[in-house]
Amino acid sequence: MPARAYLQTYPNARQDLLTRVAAGERLMAVCAETGMPSYGSVYAWAKAEPVFAAELAAARRRGDFIRNGAFDEAKAEALLNRLRAGEPITSILRDPAMPSRRVYAYWRATQAPFAEQVYRLNQVRADARVQRGRDRWRPFDQALADAIVVRVSRGELLADILNSAASLPSRGVVIRWRRLQPEFDQALRFAIRVGRRRRVQGPGRCTPEFTQFVADEIRQGESLASLARRPDMPCLTTLYTWVRKHPAFAAEIAQACEDREDWFTDQVMMLADGPGDFKDRYRQIAALKAQLGRLQHRPGAKRARAERQAHSSTSGG
């Protein structure tokens, strides 16, 4: 039946079709029903009338959104679980497996239970933010500060202490306390040094096991200064004191430093013969040589050079 004749016979057909398509029904399914225009007729109307074509396109967009925005309980539960775990909603909605921003807003507007759970989770996050803001301005507590100093001096790491209980101040609060309370800052600095010494195997003692560990690290390019910067190692003053007071420790470290020169030489040769851009390899070789030059001032270096010279002169004589 021609399109014009069909409109004269069923004057409400076009509006019914637009209403049903906008409600989420597919155009071809609507056209397949008895009493509705065929798909070809609708196509002819849209081609002949720009106004109808625009109305049909808008109805199809709305219907697509309604179909795609149909509430999915599994997706909604997965989204809520990720919110409960603390993940931001912006990160969740970027996941292709999750609903889009428009669908998420549509669910919140049309699904009351879902909207209620989202609101409750958002309130929990908001309360947590408020609490963090309050903790930021937590006043100085002398008793709590003393307890932290004692635990640090026993060997516990400050970060582990602050994370061990919700009642303890945050790292930012401790930083502020140290800035505003010089005595607390000084006591904490001293406690950190004491605790670092206690964390070493055989606290306060230069054990054979620890000596072997230090020597092995030096043979792989480390130095006493670089090892002392580790949080689980003694400070540099302690290591140099052991070099002066413990001959076995000093001898082992001196031999490790001699072996370290061979390690540097091997690294330079591997870079010189290795693949890659020559300029990059040259820069790496220069850095290794500069580092080796700085390490010539290691403990006992002068004595070792004097012993080698004496041995060479004796052998030559």
Q: Give, in degrees to the nearest 5, the angle at Cα 108 between 93 and 121.
A: 70
Cα–Cα dist 280/164, whole Å? 46
Architecture of domain 3-68: Orthogonal Bundle (1.10)
More confident residue, 132 or 248: 248
Provide the Cα torsion 53, 59, 62, 68; round to 10°: -100
Cα–Cα dist 185/177, whole Å? 8
User: What is the structure's pLDDT at 307?
Assistant: 56
Cα–Cα dist 192/171, whole Å? 15
Long-range (24+ apart) CB contacts under 8 A made by 301-307 are 301/257, 303/254, 304/254, 304/257, 304/258
The answer to whether 260 and 295 have CB atoms below 8 angstroms apart is yes
Topology of domain 208-316, CATH: Arc Repressor Mutant, subunit A (1.10.10)
**Secondary structure of residue 95 in the 3-state scheme:** coil
**Per-residue DSSP letters for 259-270?**
HHHHHHHHHHHH
Say yes or no to pLDDT of 202 above 50.
no
Longest dimension (CA), the chain: 128
- For 105-161, the pLDDT digits (tens) are 888 888 888 889 888 888 888 777 666 656 557 788 899 999 999 898 887 888 888
Q: What is the mean pLDDT of residues 186-192?
A: 88
Q: How far is CA 93 from the centre of its chain?
A: 19
What DSSP designation does 140 have?
A: P
- For 32-64, the pLDDT digits (tens) are 888 788 888 888 888 888 888 888 888 887 777
**Per-residue DSSP letters for 1-13?**
--HHHHHHH-TTH
Single pTM value for the model: 0.33
CB-based burial, 165-199: b 16+ in 10 Å, e otherwise: eeebbeeebbebbbeeeeebeebbeebbbbbbeeb
Cα–Cα dist 76/130, whole Å? 27
Q: Which two tokens stand for residue 14?
A: 């076009």
Cα–Cα dist 295/309, whole Å? 19
pLDDT band (50, 70, 90) for residue 232: low
Say yes or no to pLDDT of 299 above 60.
no
More confident residue, 67 or 267: 267
Say yes or no to pLDDT of 310 above 50.
yes
Which residues lie closer than 8 Å to 71 by C-beta, 6 or more apart? 107, 110, 111, 114
Nearest to 92 by CA among 113, 107, 112, 109: 107
